[in-house]
Amino acid sequence: MEETILITYLNDFIFCPLSIYYHHLYGNTKSDLYNTTKQVDGLISHESIDNAKYSSDSSILQGIDVYSSRFNLMGKIDAFYINDGKLVERKNLVTKIYDGYIFQLYGQYYALEDMGYDVKKLVIHSYSDNKNYNIALPPDDKVMDLKFRKLIDSIKSFDISNYIQNNPDKCRQCIYSPNCDRSLDVK
Higher pLDDT, 181 or 70: 70
String of DSSP letters for 78-146? SEEETTTTEEEEEES--SS--HHHHHHHHHHHHHHHHTT----EEEEEETTTTEEEEE--GGG-HHHHH
Note the pLDDT tens digit of each residue in 137-155. 999 999 999 999 999 999 9
pLDDT score for 184? 77
Note the pLDDT tens digit of each residue in 28-53. 555 554 455 554 555 455 454 455 45
Which domains does the chain carry?
5-179 (3.90.320.10)
The whole-chain average pLDDT of the chain stands at 86
pLDDT score for 182? 80
Which amino acid would we find at residue 74? M
**Confidence (pTM):** 0.81
